[in-house]
Amino acid sequence: MAELGTSMHRALSLASKIQIPSSELPFKAIAFFPWETQDLAALWEGEYNKEEYTDVWNSAISGYKSSFAVASESRACILSSQSPASKLLDLRLPKVQYTGGGTPQIAWALYPSFSPLLLIAVDRRVLVLDTKTQSVVGKLRGHGGTITSIAVHPISPHICCTTSKDFTTRIYDLTRLATEPSTDLHWAPDPRPSGAGRPFGLRGVEPEGLGRGLCIIVLVGGRSGGHRAAVLGAAFHPVLPVLATCGADCALKICTSKIHQASIGSIVWLNHELLLSHCASPVFRRGEGKEAILNTGEGTLVIWEWLTANLFFPSKQAGFQQEVLRGSTSECQDSSSLKVIAEYAFEHQLKPNVIPRIHSSTRGEPQVSYTYPGSQVIRIVELATVKSRKKPILANSDKQALLQDTLERHLNIEPLSNLGSTQLSILPEEGSFHACAMNPDGDVVIGTGEGAIWIWHK
């Protein structure tokens, strides 16, 4: 059932429910097919936006309109949100060594030949599925920890990245083979490329994987500016050659800044300079010694602005691009080159470090949908009514006033429920949600959970 919020134009109603046999593992990852006919003009910087490619493009994506993919540790399916009874794909995944950590991740990718791909991460490996041949065409490996997210480049969708609990982010080119010769930089004085293999996850004598997908960049953790804990999410800039990452060290990486108080679960670009991120419920310690008490706070959703975009990519110099981009030491350690625009608090959670599964839709009116694993509720929140947060007092004020102002700002964060919202819920006897997703237009919402998939339409 759905309850209409204050500013939604049309109500969401439950259109269908797909039962999953109890013998099957529940689907824990969802991704809508992200492209439409008009998107060819932007993909690959318009290289294929020509008349001779139009029919091929329309034919390639026509069968996937309104479709979505779901995945468990052992199975992947593609279904239509309009007629979910008919499966476009139902594939058993090859067995991989599974340590039991994390949840499966899923994303859509695309060859320049317009062949849609599914990327499914199970534990430490990524499977590349060709949806036309319904076969595995690539197996990517290299991470030393559980993969936590997959992001695909919005303009060059054959480029993707994976984040992991091993503190690293790995970027892949799906048009290249994993067994291609190394193109690593050489170690002086030897002029030949290094044959030691990609760092942080593989020994040099082991292959990076099989089939499609070559690791071309590894972003490592550490004092050089990388994350100091698990990397939990990533997002490619919609236009610029920039990647933003977030992690359990409470840091966002374009510039390093701790604008959240707990593990940051995801990050997404809203436009050229605005980003949205969200975090888990933080834990605060009050008191000392035996009298210390641990309290759980509210996770937050933050919209913030990257202030130094024009420093690296001057908008007045069209076509200008630096070959090497280097930030300062202060940027790597604790940057102040961002500004928090708005901050809202999620519902209070009794358990610490619980990260909601969140999904955003920015085509048309910007919205986010989210659910907590094990919950019976999915909430959809409109971002159009977001208000800028209260301006802080001037830094040259007395310390006591500055401290009091900072404390009040952290303790009195406006609830996210104050924005216009819709609540979708199921009965406790029906099960609980593992994840949810919203289609690009924001008029279809899907939840997966124990024993079923629920589909709501406007």
* Spans of all domains in the chain: 2-286+294-310+330-457
Residues 101-149 pLDDT 10s: 678 999 999 999 899 999 999 988 999 999 989 999 999 988 888 999 9
**Which band of pLDDT confidence, cut at 50, 70 and 90, is reported for residue 330?**
low
Name the residue type at position 419: L
C-alpha to C-alpha distance for 432 and 447, rounded to whole angstroms: 9
* Residue from 405, 440, 434, 336 nearest 71 by CA: 434
Token pair listed for 126: 């990524």
Give how far Cα 409 sits from Cα of 287, 302, 393, Å: 21, 13, 11
C-alpha to C-alpha distance for 137 and 212, rounded to whole angstroms: 6
Residues 228-275 pLDDT 10s: 889 999 999 988 888 899 888 888 787 555 667 778 888 888 888 888
Angle 341-342-343 from CA coordinates, rounded to 5°:
140
Rounded to an integer, the average pLDDT of 294-315 is: 80
Q: What pLDDT does 3 receive?
A: 34
Buried b (16+ CB within 10 A) or exposed e, 365-398: bbbbbbbbeebbbbbbbbbeebeebeeeeeeeee
DSSP per position, 407-450: HHHHH-PEEGGGS-EEEEE--GGG--EEEEEE-TTSSEEEEEET
C-alpha to C-alpha distance for 157 and 109, rounded to whole angstroms: 5
pTM attached to this predicted model = 0.85
Query: CATH homologous superfamily for 2-286+294-310+330-457?
Result: YVTN repeat-like/Quinoprotein amine dehydrogenase (2.130.10.10)
Buried b (16+ CB within 10 A) or exposed e, 149-182: bbbbbbbbbbbbbbbbbbbbbbbbbbeeebeeee
Per the CB < 8 A criterion, the answer to whether 89 and 134 are in contact is: yes
The DSSP 8-state label assigned to residue 351 in this structure reads S
Q: What pLDDT does 1 receive?
A: 31
The DSSP 8-state label assigned to residue 44 in this structure reads G
* Residue from 368, 366, 363, 341 nearest 273 by CA: 341
C-alpha torsion sign, points 30, 144, 266, 264:
positive
21 or 284: whose pLDDT is higher?
Answer: 21
Token pair listed for 363: 């085509």
Beta bridge partners of 29: 71
**Which band of pLDDT confidence, cut at 50, 70 and 90, is reported for residue 71?**
very high
Angle 171-173-176 from CA coordinates, rounded to 5°:
140
CA dihedral 437, 440, 444, 450 (to 10 degrees): -10
Name the residue type at position 19: Q
Residues 77-94 pLDDT 10s: 999 988 877 788 899 988
- Residue identified by tokens 């997404």 is 268
**Which band of pLDDT confidence, cut at 50, 70 and 90, is reported for residue 424?**
very high
- Residue identified by tokens 């083979």 is 177
pLDDT more than 90, % of the chain = 27
Per the CB < 8 A criterion, the answer to whether 69 and 93 are in contact is: no
| Strands 414-415 vs 338-345: parallel, antiparallel or unpaired | parallel
C-alpha to C-alpha distance for 246 and 227, rounded to whole angstroms: 8
